[in-house]
Structures are given as C-alpha cells and as structure tokens.
Amino acid sequence: MESSLPSTQILDFGESAEGKNEAKSYKEMISTFPRVKRWSYYEGFWYSTMFLEGIMSAQDHFIPQSTDIFITSCPKTGTTWLKSLTFAICTRSRLSGSSASALLTKMPHDCVPLLEHDLAQNPIKRDCAVPLVSTHVPYSCLPKSIISSGCKIIYICRDAKDAFVSFWYFIAELERSRNVQPLSLEEAFELFCNGISSYGPYWDHVLGYWRASLEFPEKILFLTYEEMKKDTAAHVKKLAEFMGCSFTLEEEEEGEVQKIISMCSFQKLSNLEVNKNGTHQADTPFAIKNSVFFRKGEIGDWANHLTPEMGARLDGIMEQKLKGSGLKLPR
C-alpha cells in the first residue's frame, strides 16, 4: 500500500514536564484501582498493571490516521498470526520483489506496533506504508479518537478453552523468566472463569467487538482462529479486500495468496531463527523471548491440559454469557 506520508512516523507523547506529571498521575490513579494478583480493574476490564499507564495515555492522546487499520484481539487468540498475515498482505509487492519479507528477520509483533505500550517511555514507531496498529484493548475502552475516526478494525477471537490454556502457558513462561512464582493452572482457571485475566472478562471482550461488528459491518471485520484455520485462503482474500488491497486475478494466478499463507504458517514462522532465538522488546520492561509466541498453534489442545469438567464449565459460562448475542464461537 502506498502512502504520501514520510516512511516512518513516531507517535510520541509525554516527553515534556507535563508528560512526566501526567505519568505520575496515571500511576497514582492506578494505585487506587481494585487489584487481584497481577491485574488491576479499570473501566470494566482487568489489565496487567504494567500496561495500564500506556493504555490510559493512549486513551487520552492517541490520534489515529484515517488510513489506520487496527488489529484487535484478546491475548492468545491468534494475534501473532493475524499480524503476520495482514502485514504480509500489505507488503506483498515488497515480498515478491527483490527484498524479502521483513517477517523473515523480524517477529510479527515487531512488524506491527502495539497501541498500549507506555508511549511516554517507548514511542510507537510505525512504517506508514503499513497502516497497521495492534491492540488488545476492549472495544468500549479504545481511545475515543479511534471510534470517531471511523478507522477499520479487524478482530480475532478463539475458543475460550484454547485461549485460556495458551494464556496460562504464556504468563507462566513470562513469570518464570522474571523470577515470579507462576499461578497454578487451577488458580488461573478459577480466575479466568470469574472474568479475571489479561483484558478479561474474555466474554465481554469478545462481545464488545462482536456487537460493534454488527453495528458497523463495513468498518469492523470479526474473525475466529478456528474459521481462519479451516479456510485460510478465503480469509487471506477477505482480509485483503477489507483492507482495500484485494488480490488481482493475476496475483491469484501467480499463487500470491498461497505464498502469504506459507510465509505466515506456524511451521514457517516458528522455525525462523528470529522467532526461535530472538527477543521481543529487548531492553524494555516488556522483554520476552519470541519463541513464547509460538507454542503449538493447534485447535483443541485444551483437552491435553484441562479436565472434561473444566472444559464443560468454561463452555457453559461462554454459552450463558453469549446467549442472545447471535454469536456462537466454534469449539
């Protein structure tokens, strides 16, 4: 996608003395929020406390560009895959040209900036040829500027049981690397079923975007991990169309869709050197091994970790919470 804007733009807020005072006041506000374990409760959702300052700063200051497309999700529902696919779709002219895809040397999260990083400490740098910004922030808590801009939003969700298991592995790994005693699976499950998880309640996160997608179908594309796995080619075409860069007949005949699917497959990405041995956000408080984002990439792995009773309990909760919404998540 071409853009007349300079190739790199820094979205920077909070360098000034005013910004520093603001950061202090966010910290003060956050210290008053209800807390359970690693999470703080704010505007109806539970957030990992370390991300809250960045979220509040984004809510107050983020100014989207009209061409922005937001990649949104609750954690562990397919974000890395969706980021790589949308990035590969947007940059496909580079992919087929002489320069190889940036995905070969950068992990997908380093190709698409995250809205809620603490922008004062860590300003977002983005490549204006790639109009993508990602966020896990729930729909009702997005910066109002995003909603009023009418920017396009792509949302992905996943069966709650698989999302939970993926989430548990991820935070356990994260906490071990930070010398924090990880939550047991049982404890984390209990909290999850009570709505307490990063950006949870999970069902409210899903419902927020689901309802918005019904209200603004031309602006919000609602996807599931399971459907995307079932027919990735149809989804790649749908994503391109939604982002305003449909594949030409010629591209389809040249196998461009398949090239993107292969480039972004779990098999390919998880075996790249950068994703096996690299670190995401190295030298920041958010540093994490890239390999942690690539675990199994399978549907139904929950059954290897949760008992059938736990599975049935979470299914029952999801069914009850989604009742009447018209949404049925694949299981």
75 binds ligand PPS (CB under 6 A): yes
Active-site residue (options: 109, 117, 136, 280): 136
User: Residue holding tokens 């909603």?
Assistant: 147
State the nearest-atom distance from the C-beta of 158 to ligand PPS, in Å: 8
In the bound state with ligand PPS, the residue whose beta carbon lies nearer, of 29 and 274, is 274
135 binds ligand PPS (CB under 6 A): no
Q: What is the dihedral of CA 166, 240, 245, 142, to 10 degrees?
A: -50
197 binds ligand PPS (CB under 6 A): no
Backbone φ and ψ for 88, nearest 5 degrees, come out as -65, -35
166 binds ligand PPS (CB under 6 A): yes
| 262 sits in which H/E element | helix 256-263
User: Residue holding tokens 């389809």?
Assistant: 252
Q: How many angstroms separate the CA atoms of 321 and 171, rounded?
A: 25
Looking at 81, 168, 209, 242, which residue binds ligand PPS (CB under 6 A)?
81
Q: 259: helix, coil or strand?
A: helix
Give the range of 33-41, 78-86, 114-122, 204-212 binding ligand PPS by CB under 6 A.
78-86
Give the range of 16-24, 188-196, 206-214, 262-270 binding ligand PPS by CB under 6 A.
262-270
The vertex-56 CA angle with 38 and 131, nearest 5°, equals 105
Instruction: Quote the radius of gyration of the chain (alpha carbons, Å).
Output: 19
Nearest to 266 by CA among 298, 223, 218, 244: 298
Give the range of 57-65, 72-80, 117-125, 238-246 binding ligand PPS by CB under 6 A.
72-80
In the bound state with ligand PPS, the residue whose beta carbon lies nearer, of 61 and 331, is 331
Q: How many angstroms separate the CA atoms of 102 and 86, rounded?
A: 13
72 binds ligand PPS (CB under 6 A): no
In the bound state with ligand PPS, the residue whose beta carbon lies nearer, of 109 and 126, is 109
239 binds ligand PPS (CB under 6 A): no
State the nearest-atom distance from the C-beta of 314 to ligand PPS, in Å: 15
Q: 2: helix, coil or strand?
A: coil
* Residue 136 annotated to the active site: yes
301 binds ligand PPS (CB under 6 A): yes
